[in-house]
Amino acid sequence: MDYNQLLEDRKLRGKEIVKSSKLTYLGDKWLVPSQTGNGSYTVKLEKDMPTCSCPDFEKRRIKCKHQFAVEIIVKKQIDEQGNITVTKKVTYSQDWVAYDKSQTQQKELFLKLLNDLCKTIQQPQYVFGRPKLLLSDMVFSSALKVFTTFSLRRFTSDMKIAQEFGYIRKVPHYSSVAYYMENPELTQVIKELITISSLPLKSVEQDFTVDSTGFSTSRFDRWFDYKYGKEKNIRKWLKAHVMSGVKTNIVTALQVTTAHEHDTKFLQPLMIETSEHFQIKELSADMGYSSRNNLDAIKEIGAMPYIPFKKNTTPRANGSSTWHKMWYYFMYKHGEFTEHYHKRSNAETVFHMIKSKFGDAIRSKTETAQINEVLLKVLCHNICCVIQEMHELKIEPNFFVEKV
């Protein structure tokens, strides 16, 4: 293990100490409990090098996990005379007043904002035959079904409420909603609505992250394993490649694929789609997206790429000056690089928000309907994010398309 990786490992252990233990400040030193439960160690934040009384630091004289634990919860200020002032780091608590209002009024505002979005849908021209249900009504119905997490039959009463408020003209039969979910033309319509739903936050978001997550289906792949002489099966799942803002967790672009599509090739199309409406200053992603082409593409749009390098990576640029510069930045200013890179963890927050509210499984049976259901989950998530920022940032949602 190299030196940088050793420090990173200790920093992670320091975070575990902060999460599981209470650190005590005694004026000029900190008492950090031992993870083995045998007493505690003393950490002092000296001017030149912090010290710790643990055997690890005494033997190796390099920063230990106890020192990292202290640095996580304090900040150190040194004046011109060399005096050290230690204060606790500023923490940002949840705006509970705004949160409570957004949650208690969420369903009411969700119906209103979803209705505003569906008004942007153009109804296909009627040619001949039996008149079809309005496309805007069917998108509204499909999104509301996903939002409620009810079955097709049980969410019919919600549709009646929506009709009473004037959000739809006619309550469709639940089988009609299932039929429209299988329409491939609906896929592009929902993706456009996802883009439009993110626009009210374009003045807020400048830093973005990209990652992927899976949604399980009710279908299985089956095969006969000749080695063990028995049939095996595995559940099928879809993969959502998502680009999102790190401040509000709004999704700005996504692509739904089969389970085994590699992440790397989706960074550039998602970034280009986002850059049409947002000014991107930073873009962070995990090692799976690390490539010279991706770093060059991010730099070309005027953004900084924060993608870590693999252990066997060399600084050889092969024509990419961005790769060369970012490798040295990653190796020799690792702490500064990591502060930006850790914004990538907000992608996990986005996935948790979507799955905890709207489920991590897909109920639809056909492939097209499954893709549309995943897209609708993301659309519902975006509307909920806008509702939150209506109360927290006092924004007024205005769904219109304006390119950067």
| SS3 per-residue string spanning 299-346 | HHCCCEEECCCCCCCCCCCCCCHHHHHHHHHHHHCHHHHHHHHHHHHH
The pLDDT, as a whole number, for residue 84 is: 47
Averaged pLDDT for residues 281-296: 94
Distance, in Å, from the CA atom of 72 to the CA atom of 303, rounded to the nearest integer, reads: 28
Q: What percent of the chain has pLDDT over 70?
A: 91
**Residues shown for the chain:** 404
- pLDDT tens for 162-220 read 999 999 999 999 999 999 999 999 999 999 999 999 999 999 999 999 999 999 998 77
What does the block give as tokens for 242?
């998502």
Q: Over 50: is that where the pLDDT of 271 sits?
A: yes
Q: Over 50: is that where the pLDDT of 78 sits?
A: no
The pLDDT, as a whole number, for residue 69 is: 87
pTM: 0.77
Among the residue ranges 41-50, 65-74, 221-230, 395-404, the one predicted with the least confidence is 395-404
The pLDDT, as a whole number, for residue 2 is: 66
Q: Are strands 84-88 and 74-78 parallel, antiparallel or unpaired?
A: antiparallel
Question: Residue 232: in which H helix or E strand, if any?
Answer: strand 230-245
Question: Residue 376: in which H helix or E strand, if any?
Answer: helix 367-392
C-alpha distances in angstroms, 124 versus 121, 168, 186, 234? 9, 17, 12, 40
C-alpha distances in angstroms, 295 versus 68, 155, 309? 30, 46, 11
The pLDDT, as a whole number, for residue 196 is: 96
- pLDDT tens for 294-316 read 999 999 999 999 999 988 888 88
Q: Over 90: is that where the pLDDT of 34 sits?
A: no
Q: What is the DSSP letter of 312?
A: T
- pLDDT tens for 37-49 read 778 899 987 766 7
